[in-house]
Amino acid sequence: MVTAGVILHALAWVPPDHLNAGLSPTAEHSIIKPAASILDAFTGPIWMAMNITTGDWGVFSLFQSIIAHGIAATGVLLVVRFALALRRRMNKRRQEHPPEEAVAHPARRRFLVDAPFAAAAVLGTGALVDGAFLEPFGLKIRKHTIPLRDLPEQFIGFKAVLISDTHLGPRIPAEFIRKAVSLCLDLKPDLFLLGGDYVHAGTRYIKPAVELFKPLVASGVPTVGVLGNHDWYNSRGLITRFLTEIGVRMVDNAHVLLDGRTRTFASGPIAPRDALCIAGVGDILTDEVNIRRALQSVPENAPRIVLCHNPDGADLPSMQRERIDLMLCGHTHGGQIRFPFVGPLYVPCRTGTKYAGGLLKGPGFPVLVSRGVGMSICPVRIGVPPELVEITLTRA
């Protein structure tokens, strides 16, 4: 069991990790990454503890993999042993005090004992299969119409598409991101926005991830992006260089202006009279958040849309001191596991579940949080399908 788990985990993570390694055909096979995700549902807490201890969130470690799968296998065997002992106890109790119908029908007695265990096994297996094989790849499109103050007439009906948290790597195959990018193109927006976390970690996926976004830039539609925390883990934001080379305008603590006449990037030292500002800030966990620098020299009457990978940024005092008309975020993945009447089990934000996903009211401006395309540390999606976000602007 441990050997099989380690092998499957290694196939998904494809060691060793280096910049020019590229994609592995074996790892990109449709069955490998979902199957590894099912195993990671058992080893996940152990990996989390080891990652926190070592500070290494990126590449494959054979030693850690053996430990994680060994502990997980031991835990599973203990649970199975406990379940069998409980079943024997329940069966013995029913034999000592059988209901009248069980005396007449021994098969009914066995059914009454075995049914709860069988139901738990079926439901648990079904949830894992759905969470690893089905729901993570059921991409949705969420549409929002957002009113902005001072929006120039030329931008009324302007449409942007936000694609965030693609996480190319051991959880998410390139083919799924390729389909997401194709769907972005089918929406025919006026602007593409990239919300960060393009790779899960490490460097081997940087160049393949950039290749996946090339069709957006090649379409001639302006494309703007910021980095997420995973783009810094083990690669120190290196992907910025390659995204910039293909034509993505990276706006970490910077901005670009769109010209209302052409709906393209404004050029020259003088800002156009009718402009829309697209700004961004660095990731709150791994970079500097400098909204003042990001909005420096932006015309006062220009509406400002700010890309901020982590929605916790909306609550920073520095954000409240600047004019921001709309903040666009990702990072949360909607919590990835959400149950009816309960909500998301956990959202990786300092503010708890406040910014789990959707269009929300921040302290000083609306915050629109994408539930993302990929998966991160949690290896399944249950009740939270991946999504692209389409935004249509109108005048407030």
pLDDT tens figures, 223-273: 999 999 999 987 889 999 999 999 999 999 999 999 999 999 998 777 788
User: For the chain, what are the domain ranges?
Assistant: 1-137, 140-395
How far are the Cα atoms of 34, 188, 273 from residue 358, in angstroms, in the given order? 26, 22, 32
Q: Using CB atoms within 10 A of its CB, is residue 316 exposed (0-12), middle (13-18) or buried (19+)?
A: middle
CATH code linked to domain 140-395 = 3.60.21
Q: Average of pLDDT values for 379-385?
A: 96
Q: Using CB atoms within 10 A of its CB, is residue 368 exposed (0-12), middle (13-18) or buried (19+)?
A: buried
| Cα–Cα distance, 347 to 369 (Å, whole number) | 12
pLDDT of residue 113: 56
The helix/strand/coil state of 319 is helix
pTM for the complete prediction? Answer: 0.91
pLDDT of residue 15: 84
What are the phi and psi torsion angles at 143 (to 5°)? -115, 135
392 or 118, greater pLDDT: 392
Please give the structure tokens belonging to residue 170. Answer: 């051991």
Q: Using 50, 70 and 90 to split pLDDT, how confident is the model at 79?
A: confident
| Cα–Cα distance, 230 to 44 (Å, whole number) | 17
In tens, the pLDDT along 339-379 reads 998 999 999 999 999 999 999 999 999 999 999 999 988 89
